[in-house]
A and B are shown apart, each in its own frame.
Chain A
Amino acid sequence: MIRTRFFLSCIAFLLITLALLSLHSRYGKQAWIAQELTANRKLVANLALTDLALWTEARYTRHPALADFFAPFQDAPASFEHFPAGSIIAPRLPGVSTTLRVRKPPVGAPK
């Protein structure tokens, strides 16, 4: 049973590592909420910031929330995406949840 003991010890070690990492996650999150979230929210509220400063390569990647839907194609219709970041940002789907169809009434239908 030496192999079984060794294997179970390895699994136990990995599970303990995961438990420690989940504690790190829990306390890291709590610390961020306590120390940085409010300060960052205040910053965003006072400066009216709308986007993460992740992709500074183009207007529409620096401010995806304020960009037009067709921003990458403004230079030429159906042009290829210029910037690498543009290809890792998912398109924002239009938020339409209801549709309205307008049809002509059949001939002779009461008005």
Chain B
Amino acid sequence: MTRFLKILEYALSSLARRKFKNFSIIAIYSFTIASLASILLLTHSLKEIAVNVLADGPDIVVQRLTGGRHDMIPASNAQAIEKLIGVGRVTPRIWGYYYDGLYQTNYTILGVHEKLPPLEMVKGRMVARDGECTVGQGVATTQNAEIGNELLLINSKGIGHTCEITGMFKAQSNLWTNDLILFSQDDLQRFFATPDGLATDIIVEVYNPKEIPVVAQKIKQLFPDTRPVTLNEILHTYQSVFNWRSGMMLTIFASSLIAFSILAWDKATGISGEEKQEIGILKAIGWDTSDILALKFSEGSVISVTSFLLGISLAYIHVFLLGAPLLVPVLKGWSVLFPRLQLVPYVDMYQIFTLGFLTIIPYMASTVLPSWKSAITDPESIMRGG
């Protein structure tokens, strides 16, 4: 133990001699780890939120395809689907998108059928009749609207349509409702000028979750022009959207990893003349090769462990305490309405250990290996600069 502490003390003094260089390495190394870890934490958290909340999503969404594109589906298909064994409630629904030219934002407008039960995530009350609407925080902020105000939108016929804002979704549901406007189904049908008897899609409830694929298959056989999207597929989408193959991970993760590789490569390709001379002197005064390797191992550990701990802490603070301000512009793209990220601190320890393994080990190896090469060379020739 004393030997280890003495070697560590010597390693620290050796690092202190090249203060500026080593502090720069720690800063770059920590920044690289912080950016890699920020992406891992952000994507993992979003994935967990999506998968946990969507567990109660619709069992099957039936869409109709015409010429390979999503098209309106006859609402009468619902009656035939309802007759399938194991199927519960079948609800044709109307929903769509609305571009607000004034604020240059896109809204999602959803029609609700009947009086919905009061929801905890709604301030005020839900839409109960025509001429009323419930809006998301993003919509309210853009329109500078509050509960009780009138919301003016232009309908499909180019005529202004006003509705009274009776409720507003709370900020805690922003990830789901930021751009959402709820109308009554009939109101929305008139707003979009949807022909009678047509719906955007059909929601199917299946009593036994194990029967969902079978019911989806039966719907496909019954109506070959439809595409039933099962709950499992919806969950699978979010698992893939935020997995390591996603573009976000590939672009930022890969570039950070390349930057780190350059740093490690620079270390591995050789050590400075000064460092070589130091190794030669240590050998000449009686240090063993193992002592020199222990010294270099300590130097590498001091830098990599400090950077790793600093990088992970910074990433956590960046993502979960500050709301990932540096990653939001990347994630946001061209979305005008983007919810304020209030991420749930889900941390996957497996990812953190993998990141540690991928960054600490290569750096230590790149520190120890060139030193080992110098340590086994004759000290005299090293000191002479050979």
**A residues at B contact (CB < 8 Å):** 1, 3-4, 7, 10-11, 14-15, 17-18, 21-22, 24-25, 28-29, 32, 35-37, 39-57, 59, 61-62, 64-66, 68, 70, 74, 83-93, 95
Complex-state Cα separation, A64 to B119, whole angstroms? 26
- With A37-B53, A95-B233 in contact, is A57–B106 under 8 Å at CB? yes
Contact A53–B331 (Cβ < 8 Å): no
Q: Show 19 A/B contacts (Cβ-Cβ < 8 Å), sorted by A.
A: A3-B13, A7-B12, A25-B316, A40-B173, A41-B55, A47-B116, A47-B182, A50-B229, A52-B176, A53-B176, A56-B178, A57-B335, A65-B238, A66-B229, A68-B65, A86-B333, A88-B251, A88-B333, A92-B237
Within the complex, the shortest CB–CB distance from B27 to chain A, in Å, comes to 15
Q: Mark each residue of chain B from 304 to 343: 1 if its CB lies under 8 Å from any CB of chain A, else 0.
A: 0110011011001100110000000011111111110000
- With A62-B97, A62-B108 in contact, is A42–B245 under 8 Å at CB? no
- With A46-B119, A65-B234, A66-B61 in contact, is A21–B56 under 8 Å at CB? no
Chain A residues with CB below 8 A from B201, complex form: 66
Choice from B9, B57, B63, B306 contacting A10 with Cβ under 8 Å: B306
Contact B345–A87 (Cβ < 8 Å): no
Choice from A22, A57, A65 contacting B334 with Cβ under 8 Å: A57
**B residues at A contact (CB < 8 Å):** 5, 8-9, 12-13, 16, 46, 49-50, 52-58, 61, 63, 65, 68-70, 91, 93, 97, 105-108, 110, 112, 116-117, 119-122, 136, 138, 169, 172-180, 182, 201, 203, 229, 233-234, 236-238, 240-243, 245-248, 251, 302, 305-306, 309-310, 312-313, 316-317, 320-321, 330-339, 344-347
Within the complex, the shortest CB–CB distance from B235 to chain A, in Å, comes to 9
Contact B57–A92 (Cβ < 8 Å): no
Choice from B70, B172, B178, B240 contacting A39 with Cβ under 8 Å: B172
Contact B339–A48 (Cβ < 8 Å): no
- With A11-B305, A53-B178 in contact, is A89–B97 under 8 Å at CB? no
Contact B345–A48 (Cβ < 8 Å): no
Contact A92–B240 (Cβ < 8 Å): yes
Q: For chain A, what secondary structure do more than half of its interface residues adopt (helix, strand, loop), or is it mixed?
A: helix
- With A50-B57, A66-B229 in contact, is A43–B176 under 8 Å at CB? yes
**Number of inter-chain CB pairs below 8 Å:** 212
Chain A residues with CB below 8 A from B53, complex form: 37, 40-41, 44
> Can you name the residue of chain A whose Cβ is closest to the Cβ of B97?
A59
Chain B residues with CB below 8 A from A1, complex form: 5, 9
Complex-state Cα separation, A7 to B12, whole angstroms? 8
Contact B233–A65 (Cβ < 8 Å): yes
- With A29-B344, A40-B176, A89-B246 in contact, is A14–B55 under 8 Å at CB? no
> Can you name the residue of chain B whose Cβ is closest to the Cβ of A37?
B52
Contact A15–B333 (Cβ < 8 Å): no
Chain A residues with CB below 8 A from B247, complex form: 87-90
Chain A residues with CB below 8 A from B116, complex form: 46-47
Contact A50–B117 (Cβ < 8 Å): no
Contact A43–B173 (Cβ < 8 Å): yes
Within the complex, the shortest CB–CB distance from A30 to chain B, in Å, comes to 10
Contact B248–A88 (Cβ < 8 Å): yes
> Can you name the residue of chain B whose Cβ is closest to the Cβ of A10?
B306
- With A7-B12, A64-B241 in contact, is A39–B333 under 8 Å at CB? no
Q: Which are the 7 A-B pairs with shortest beta-carbon distances? A: A84-B333, A85-B333, A90-B246, A88-B248, A14-B309, A3-B12, A25-B345
- With A59-B97, A90-B246, A92-B236 in contact, is A14–B337 under 8 Å at CB? no
Chain B residues with CB below 8 A from A35, complex form: 172
Chain B residues with CB below 8 A from A49, complex form: 57, 176-177
Chain B residues with CB below 8 A from A4, complex form: 5, 8-9, 12
Chain A residues with CB below 8 A from B65, complex form: 68
Contact A24–B345 (Cβ < 8 Å): yes
